[in-house]
Amino acid sequence: MFAELDTPCLLLDRTRMAANLARMRGRIAGLGGKIRPHLKTIKSAEALPLIFDGGIGPITVSTLREAEVFAGYGIKDMLYAVGIAPQKLPRVSRLLDQGIDLKICVDSMQAADFVVAQSQKSGRRIPVVIEIDVDDHRSGVPWQDLNQIIEIAKRLTHGADFRGVMSHSGESYGLAQDDARIKAADEERVRILQAVDALRSAGGIACPMVSVGATPTALASSSLEGVSEMRAGVFMFFDLVQAGIGVCSSDNIAISVLATVIGRRDDKGWLIVDAGWTAMSQDRGTAAQLVDQHYGIVCDIDGQPYQDIVLARANQEHGIITCRPGSGASLPPLSIGDRVRILPNHACATAHLHENYVLVDHGDVTGTWSRFRGW
């Protein structure tokens, strides 16, 4: 059914994606919450109708390019969830001038100061949240440092458009037990709400926006009380890293790379395909998991995984398929010209390398969605 396609190319099983979206929507709605989907994974305007089953937005973005592109498709409510630098603020102001309600985030008084300065300079108060570090993962004011959170919020309340707080439970990507993810989600909520309480009681400062999330915690939360929105992105596609920690199964993974066999080395136990790291990425996120999936799980043309067959190496345009070391499996009887599908470790990284998604619905190719990149 894929005979017309040049390879390598990225297949997107829209049926699976729709099911993944329904699962997340059902889960968050069941907790009385709202979703602000992160579009850094998909980066495709054509996907918006499926993502927003009616209506459009709100969204999370990871680059100003994403904000600018999606602004062109009518989305108004955005959170740019990566720390800001002063050089980026003129682009933020231009989006605000176009009527986009773009929230940015800061985690220092220095950043608060230049956001205030730009608000004054541009004549428009910039909407801003404080990023709180709830799990020692990356950015944010440490959740314990309530004094600093209050000081920054005061500064922003007076000179910008302070909206609230956000956190990202990034350490949850490493949690392979359900109860550990439930605990991480609970801790994130408790810790960010401590900041919200401190702002209210110490400073009389309201936090209409209390934004948390990551795919693993979004699917594990036991409560969203006090939280205004959940952010998650990779759940739309899922991937082997998520499957490896038990957040999904490999049957839920909506993207795969279609590749063609270009060589067979029986002397070495290798099949060589035309999907190297330009098609798969160099992500090795499963390397530290219980089962290392190397550069991906190899499936037949219908998407059914071969038992213990992996993409063992990825050069620029060559991929080497082998049996999983120690598995006792044997190479499938494929020869040059035969095709396989490869499930990726990390959907964000693999999708990022492709210009288009080739849509597959119930096994049929039904079209393409374009995809952008850049900053």
Q: Judged by CB, which is closer to a second copy: 173, or 306?
A: 173
Q: Judged by CB, which is closer to a second copy: 33, or 296?
A: 296
* Minimum CB–partner distance for residue 356 and a second copy (Å): 9
The pair of structure tokens assigned to 272 is 């060589």
Parallel, antiparallel, or unpaired for β 161-167 and 141-142?
Answer: unpaired
Q: How far from the centroid of its chain's Cα atoms is residue 94's Cα?
A: 26
Q: Judged by CB, which is closer to a second copy: 121, or 268?
A: 268
* Minimum CB–partner distance for residue 215 and a second copy (Å): 13
Q: Judged by CB, which is closer to a second copy: 42, or 224?
A: 42
List contacts with a second copy (CB under 8 A). Answer: 3, 6-9, 40, 62-63, 82-88, 91, 107-108, 110-111, 114, 136, 138-139, 142, 170, 260-265, 267-268, 272, 274, 277-279, 281-284, 315-318, 320, 335-337, 348-349, 352-353, 355, 373-375
User: Which of 230, 215, 201 lies closest to 41 in space, CA to CA?
Assistant: 215
Q: Judged by CB, which is closer to a second copy: 68, or 308?
A: 68
* Minimum CB–partner distance for residue 162 and a second copy (Å): 19
Q: Judged by CB, which is closer to a second copy: 14, or 346?
A: 346
* Minimum CB–partner distance for residue 315 and a second copy (Å): 7
Q: Judged by CB, which is closer to a second copy: 105, or 224?
A: 105
* Minimum CB–partner distance for residue 32 and a second copy (Å): 30
Q: Rounded to an integer, what distance in angstroms lies between the CA atom of residue 119 and that of residue 146? A: 25
* Minimum CB–partner distance for residue 1 and a second copy (Å): 14
Kindly report the length of the chain.
Answer: 375
**Residue carrying structure tokens 């100061």:** 113
Q: Rounded to an integer, what distance in angstroms lies between the CA atom of residue 84 and that of residue 106? A: 7
Q: Where are the alpha helices (DSSP H) in the chain?
A: 14-30, 48-51, 64-71, 89-97, 109-122, 146-159, 178-203, 215-218, 240-244, 277-280, 347-351
* Minimum CB–partner distance for residue 343 and a second copy (Å): 17
* Minimum CB–partner distance for residue 354 and a second copy (Å): 8
SS3 233: coil
* Minimum CB–partner distance for residue 348 and a second copy (Å): 6
- Judge contact between 343 and 281, C-beta under 8 A: no
Contacts of 9 (CB under 8 A, 6+ apart): 257, 258, 354, 356, 358
Q: Judged by CB, which is closer to a second copy: 17, or 314?
A: 314
State the DSSP code for 277: H
First-residue to last-residue Cα distance in the chain = 36
Q: Judged by CB, which is closer to a second copy: 224, or 279?
A: 279
The pair of structure tokens assigned to 11 is 């297949």
Q: Rounded to an integer, what distance in angstroms lies between the CA atom of residue 167 and that of residue 37? A: 14
- Judge contact between 357 and 255, C-beta under 8 A: yes
Handedness of CA 334, 336, 341, 346 (dihedral sign): positive
* Minimum CB–partner distance for residue 157 and a second copy (Å): 20
Q: Rounded to an integer, what distance in angstroms lies between the CA atom of residue 275 and that of residue 263? A: 12
User: Which of 309, 301, 270, 297 lies closest to 363 in space, CA to CA?
Assistant: 301
Q: Judged by CB, which is closer to a second copy: 224, or 314?
A: 314
